[in-house]
Chain A
Amino acid sequence: RKEVEQDPGPFNVPEGATVAFNCTYSNSASQSFFWYRQDCRKEPKLLMSVYSSGNEDGRFTAQLNRASQYISLLIRDSKLSDSATYLCVGENSWGKLQFGAGTQVVVTP
């Protein structure tokens, strides 16, 4: 079983709509979590860290549920530029990152 699992999608979202997706992790020792965005054939770029209390950055809201071991990302008012693959990433106490395979989001006009 993979340590971080994501629905690969694609999630096809009309422009202006809201999309949400989760990822699950199996290693309860994971300390920190992040959402990264990866455009085709490019390097991942940090979107936001994820905190248990939930955090929001503009149109993006992330939530961590340690009891159920899942992380969520919600995108409001989707823009065409939000089309990308979103990587769920867990970090253990040694600083080792575990990447999910990514969830593809396609925002359509």
Chain B
Amino acid sequence: GAVVSQHPSRVICKSGTSVKIECRSLDFQATTMFWYRQFPKQSLMLMATSNEGSKATYEQGVEKDKFLINHASLTLSTLTVTSAHPEDSSFYICSAPRQVLPANYGYTFGSGTRLTVV
């Protein structure tokens, strides 16, 4: 249980276009979704935290107008990279707290989206 489905898994887009990444919790309700970015040989860096029904919280240095996050329902959170540039090319991955009774246990990750901006 506790599966997060993320898509697309890979996307190549032209500079200046926007890309939407979706993360769906399939068998549990994800009231919170964390969005990370990982550059090659680096650690996952938290970009923002989305909460269902409220505004996302962005980490320092992350442009909220460029990385639009929407958490419209308990099972869907989206990240839109607007006006993408080559430096936005990265591995984007979402994660939700796992709610496995009788206790919360870790986090479940989406399978990641590899974005290449050309």
Q: Which residues of A contact B (CB under 8 A)?
A: 2, 4, 8, 34, 41-46, 49, 87, 95-97, 99-102
Contacts and interface: CB of A to CB of B under 8 A. Distances in A.
19 contacts: A8-B41, A41-B91, A41-B114, A42-B111, A42-B112, A43-B93, A43-B109, A44-B44, A44-B93, A45-B109, A49-B105, A49-B106, A87-B43, A87-B44, A95-B32, A97-B44, A100-B43, A101-B42, A101-B43
Nearest to B109: A43
Given A97-B34, A97-B46, A43 B112 contact: yes
Interface of B: 6, 32, 34, 36, 41-46, 49, 91, 93, 95, 97, 105-107, 109-112, 114
A8 B32 CA distance: 31
> Which 5 residue pairs across A and B have the least CB separation, nearest first?
A101-B43, A99-B43, A43-B109, A99-B44, A43-B112
A105 B9 CA distance: 25
A46 B41 contact: no
A96 B97 contact: no
